[in-house]
Homo-oligomer: A and B are copies of this chain.
Amino acid sequence: MASPLTPRARDFPRWYQDVITQAELADNGPVRGTMVIRPWGFSIWERMQGEIDARIKDAGADNAYFPLFIPEGYLQREAEHVEGFSPELAVVTHGGGRKLEEPVVVRPTSETVINSFFAKWIQSYRDLPLLLNQWANVVRWELRPRLFLRTSEFLWQEGHTAHATADEARDYALRILSDVYVSTMVGVLAGPVLTGHKTARERFAGAIRTWTCEGMMGDGKALQMGTSHELGQNFARAFGIQYSTATGAQEYVWQTSWGASTRLVGALIMAHGDDAGLRLPPQLAPIEVVVLVVKEGEGVAVAATQLVTELRDAGHRVRLDDRVDVSFGRRSIDWELKGVPIRLEVGPRDLAGGQVTVVRRDLREKKSVPVTGAAQHVLDALVDAQRGLLREAQARMEERTARVKTVDEAAEAATAGFATLPWDAVGVEGEARLAEAGVSVRCLQRADGSLALAHDEPGLVAVVAKAY
């Protein structure tokens, strides 16, 4: 059976849509731009949530929940913020059968409502730092929706913190960037990322500094994987969030906010997918190994069940597929589409010779192995597949990143991948020219790839690319 997908080389966006449909990841909702996340897609998101949530808790933040509805007036308190979000708002004008006195907006992000509570909860330096996170749906009306990447409603986590000093706020924003986002992207999603800060043009509406991690997709375009903002005292002043210091003075707090969303599922598809479908890194995969009964036969059921048990006992996520009423070919293709890292095929013919077949999704490579050592072989393959996917994505990012010197060269290079050039050679004007070619500055960093902490540090490098 042939793959039901459009080849990537022929039409990458169409391949992306095909994977989502064929792997049963998501569907368009009935209201324009909304999305139904189907069980397989949702189980991937749940795994991402679990990994990110554990890291957020390790960083000392507590989960909480703030309301979906925000009074329209709240958004207007921070000037840049309202300007940034106004065009994307969904507005509720009627509730309980009546016209509302003041319309309410559906949260596009929760800075305004959360900070109105920070103002109430924070009184003294003893209340700091205040470190909260919420998992929620948010709504930003989309004119050109694309599943997972740009949807009118999406799921995310948004962290919001308040600190006594600017340095503490920056340290925390950077800690989230490295210990939550980069750690999850590289360690779990097997996706290498570049880190840096955004230009004024690309910064979050209301932030003084936006830190970002950017990944490269299979077509060479960039995707922002997570951002961590220093908000300075902008919201503190807008919402009156003050604390009394140990000496009794009144000071405004320094804040951060940071988020990652269901876009990551889109990133995962485009970072690792191939012409046969999704390829999931084992660390993330909801099912790491599917034990596939090829067809019924002597000892097959027993052998398959035993392999499942052995792998589960070793702490892995394993599914038994013994639906022998569905053709072997159909099931193989489906598991490939869904990206399960290892397929362990157990059939009567192989088994008579004491063998089973191990199929690696990342390499699309089949191997006959003795049934006795099969579980250990699979465990090793899982480790190798995780490393292999990261290495492959790293090699692509290196190959497809051009070092250039001028804005024109950068625009040209960005048709195939990333380009890096001195930020001095770009500047605000160059950035505007790049934008005309659909290219943006993804981040600024030092020449060695490290983060530039000072606002006006000389010698910065701009990473530019077309982006999702």
Interfacial residues, chain A to chain B (CB-CB below 8 A): 27, 29-31, 34-39, 42-43, 45-46, 62-71, 74, 86-97, 103-104, 106, 113, 116-117, 120, 132, 136-137, 139, 141-143, 152-153, 155
A283 to B374, CA, bound (A): 39
Partner of A94, one of B43, B74, B90, B116: B90
A37, B62: Cβ atoms under 8 Å?
no
From B31, B63, B91, contact of A93 by CB (8 A): B91
Copies of the protein in its oligomer:
2
- Please, which residues of chain B bring their CB within 8 A of the CB of A69? 29, 31, 34, 90, 139, 152-153
A283 to B80, CA, bound (A): 47
Given contacts A89-B97, A92-B106, 18 further A-B contacts (CB under 8 A): A29-B113, A31-B67, A31-B71, A36-B66, A38-B64, A39-B62, A67-B153, A68-B139, A69-B90, A69-B152, A89-B95, A90-B92, A90-B96, A91-B94, A91-B95, A94-B103, A96-B143, A137-B137
Q: Are A31 and B89 in contact (CB under 8 A)?
A: no
CA distance A35 to B69 in the complex (A): 10
Chain B residues contacting A34 (CB-CB under 8 Å) are 67-69
CA distance in complex: A65, B46 (Å): 11
Residues in chain B near residue A120, CB distance under 8 A: 27
CB nearest neighbor in B for A53: B46
CB neighbours of A38 from chain B (8 A): 64
B31 touches A104 (CB 8 A): yes
Please name the 10 residue pairs, one residue from A and one from B, whose CB atoms are nearest each other, closest first.
Answer: A96-B141, A39-B62, A34-B67, A29-B67, A37-B65, A91-B94, A31-B69, A95-B141, A90-B95, A93-B93
Contacts of A70 in B (CB 8 A): 30-31
Residues of B within 8 A of A64 (CB): 36-39, 42
**Is A97 a contact partner of B87 (Cβ separation < 8 A)?**
yes
Given A30-B70, A31-B104, A63 and B43 contact (CB-CB distance below 8 Å): yes
